[in-house]
């Protein structure tokens, strides 16, 4: 089955998807907690940086853009700083924002999350406080009509419509009816709000509530797996749907299609950092796969996988296709989550620095993994809190070592390195040197073997230029890839 999903992801193409819903700005305020306030029994957060991401329906937009879809955004924003920030992010992601309406009297929702690291207690990052700045207003008839004009203008060139309802006043029965009419057979999927009355979603193709939302809307308990199908069946029947995909937290996703028996797709066990954004990811991947021509069973399997990757991240974090492919290739092994793109690692590095953790970097070909490599990697890990290992690509090694190398293919070398306990993240680079990665990630420590102590250390000037340092790990005498390969016959 993993092979089928790999082929599915590789063949997704660039489907065109419209996303309609409540847009908001997520602000993350990062810092350290060193003391309790003398004014009240609350922690004092010493702010080190702020980060802005798009939330609500906006996280579906960014998810889809990172997954390779061409996205059109439909909705409303306030004519304010937060609204401008959201539009700027959409532009950076290459999204079409012509369907947005911007209102002077509207206030854009901002959710500000304050996260702190208690260094003295050696704890990880914890969310201390969330502040919501919003002014909920039901969409006016004029706003609904203007948005629907945008929907009708986009409809002829879209492969799917996704609606993300956060109950901020935009989504209504009139709006949903207008989207269904304009879609004219194109799939319309909805991530519904937490509310008792789901009649506004009547006639869409699919809804993907979580079990608590489904319980509230159906009146049927979803506390146990045995009771969930009855709730899904009631929603399917009373709302005239084609399918219900109910998310079940750690128990996966339940899919009920009209005329078929319910099927539960279990999730893989993982360490959960933050459940924020999991529902948005499910809607994104369901819509992506269906828009690309895949069936609902495939869509649910892939959405389940993507949601599992999402909850391993702190905050709403887009997942790239490359991460899905890596997860599928590793077949659920925890090491798969360690393999990252340079862009993903840049974000991880920024978050690590904000939480006061020390980043360590080392690199190499690792062609024929041996005891010397273990010595290097374990020694590097002792230099800090997170170890990033950059591995030369096959083409890079051929340029550096000649046509007979590497002896071990790139994917196998990456899997072996990722499987080591000392390693936190692995990235592949295709250049002859890791200098681009060093400039992007700005690690605190660059680690090399002791044989480089008296020679040239590639990247030293970059690391020391921003205040980092170079450390050396003692090499085991007589052990190297070249010496070991002398005992193996050459290929061919």
Torsion of CA 276, 99, 181, 161, to 10 degrees: -30
280 noted as active-site residue: yes
DSSP 331: T
Cis peptide before 447 (omega within 30 of 0): no
Q: Which residues pair with 449 in a beta bridge?
A: 473
Q: What are phi and psi of 218, to 5 degrees?
A: -95, -25
Is the Cβ–Cβ distance between 463 and 470 less than 8 Å?
yes
Alpha-carbon span 60 to 164, nearest angstrom? 8
Query: Beta strands of 118-270 (E only): which ranges?
Result: 125-133, 160-164, 188-191, 206-207, 243-247, 253-257, 263-265
Angle, alpha carbons 347-352-353 (nearest 5°): 100
Query: Beta strands of 393-468 (E only): which ranges?
Result: 425-429, 445-449
Query: Kind and range of the H or E element at 70?
Result: strand 70-78
Chain center to CA of 350:
15
Output the DSSP codes for 185-210: TS-EEEE--S-S--GGGTT-SEE--B
Is the Cβ–Cβ distance between 291 and 17 less than 8 Å?
yes
In the structure encoding, which two tokens stand for residue 194, read together? Answer: 């937490």
Alpha-carbon span 154 to 150, nearest angstrom? 6
Give residue for tokens 């609204």. Answer: 83
Residues 6+ positions from 20 with CB-CB distance below 8 Å: 57, 74, 75, 147, 151, 161, 162, 163, 164, 171, 175, 179
Query: Kind and range of the H or E element at 364?
Result: strand 359-364
Alpha-carbon span 442 to 361, nearest angstrom? 9
Is the Cβ–Cβ distance between 108 and 132 less than 8 Å?
no
Taking alpha carbons only, the member of 25, 30, 61, 7 closest to residue 288 is 61
Taking alpha carbons only, the member of 172, 171, 175, 244 closest to residue 210 is 244
| Burial class of residue 131 in the structure, from the number of CB atoms within 10 Å of its CB (0-12 exposed, 13-18 middle, 19+ buried) | exposed
Q: How many residues does the chain have?
A: 492
In the structure encoding, which two tokens stand for residue 287, read together? Answer: 């819509």
Q: Please identify which of the residues 159, 274, 280, 424 carries the catalytic annotation.
A: 280
In the structure encoding, which two tokens stand for residue 19, read together? Answer: 């996303």
Catalytic positions, written as ranges: 280
């Amino acid at each position: 089955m993993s092979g089928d999903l790999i082929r599915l992801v590789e063949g997704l193409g660039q489907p065109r998807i419209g996303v309609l819903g409540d847009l908001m700005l997520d602000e993350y305020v990062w810092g350290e907690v060193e003391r309790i306030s003398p004014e009240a029994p609350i922690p004092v957060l010493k702010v080190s940086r702020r980060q802005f991401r798009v939330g609500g329906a906006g996280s579906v937009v960014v998810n889809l853009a990172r997954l390779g879809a061409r996205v059109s955004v439909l909705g409303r924003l306030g004519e304010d700083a937060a609204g401008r920030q959201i539009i700027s992010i959409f532009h950076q992601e290459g999204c079409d924002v012509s369907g947005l309406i911007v209102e002077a009297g509207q206030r854009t929702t901002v959710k500000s999350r304050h996260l702190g690291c208690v260094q003295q207690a050696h704890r990880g990052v914890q969310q201390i406080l969330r502040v919501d700045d919003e002014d909920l207003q039901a969409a006016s008839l004029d706003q609904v009509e203007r948005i629907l004009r945008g929907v009708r203008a986009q409809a002829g060139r879209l492969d799917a419509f996704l609606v993300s309802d956060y109950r901020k006043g935009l989504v209504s029965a009139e709006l949903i009816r207008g989207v269904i009419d304009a879609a004219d057979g194109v799939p319309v999927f909805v991530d519904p709000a937490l509310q008792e009355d789901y009649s506004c979603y009547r006639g869409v193709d699919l809804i993907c509530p979580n079990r608590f939302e489904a319980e509230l809307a159906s009146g049927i308990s979803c506390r146990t797996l045995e009771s969930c199908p009855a709730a899904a069946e009631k929603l399917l029947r009373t709302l005239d749907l084609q399918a219900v995909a109910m998310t079940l937290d750690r128990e996966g996703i339940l899919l009920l299609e009209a005329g078929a028996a319910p099927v539960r797709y279990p999730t893989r066990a993982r360490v959960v950092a933050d459940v924020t954004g999991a529902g948005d990811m499910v809607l994104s991947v369901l819509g992506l796969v269906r828009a690309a021509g895949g069936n609902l069973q495939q869509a649910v399997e892939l959405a389940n996988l993507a949601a599992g990757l999402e909850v391993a991240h702190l905050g709403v974090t887009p997942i790239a296709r490359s991460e899905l492919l890596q997860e599928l290739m590793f077949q659920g092994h925890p090491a798969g989550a360690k393999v990252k793109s340079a862009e993903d690692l840049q974000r991880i590095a920024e978050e690590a620095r904000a939480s006061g953790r020390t980043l360590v970097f080392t690199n190499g070909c690792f062609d024929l993994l041996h005891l010397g490599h273990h010595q290097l990697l374990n020694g590097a890990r002792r230099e800090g809190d997170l170890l990033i290992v950059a591995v030369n690509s096959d083409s890079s090694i051929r340029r550096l070592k000649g046509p007979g190398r590497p002896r071990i293919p790139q994917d196998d070398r990456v899997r072996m390195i990722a499987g080591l306990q000392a390693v936190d993240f692995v990235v592949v680079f295709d250049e002859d040197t890791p200098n681009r990665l060093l400039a992007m990630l700005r690690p605190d420590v660059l680690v090399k073997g002791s044989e480089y102590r008296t020679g040239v250390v590639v990247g030293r000037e970059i690391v020391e230029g921003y205040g980092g340092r170079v450390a050396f790990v003692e090499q085991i005498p007589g052990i190297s890839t070249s010496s070991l390969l002398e005992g193996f016959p050459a290929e061919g």
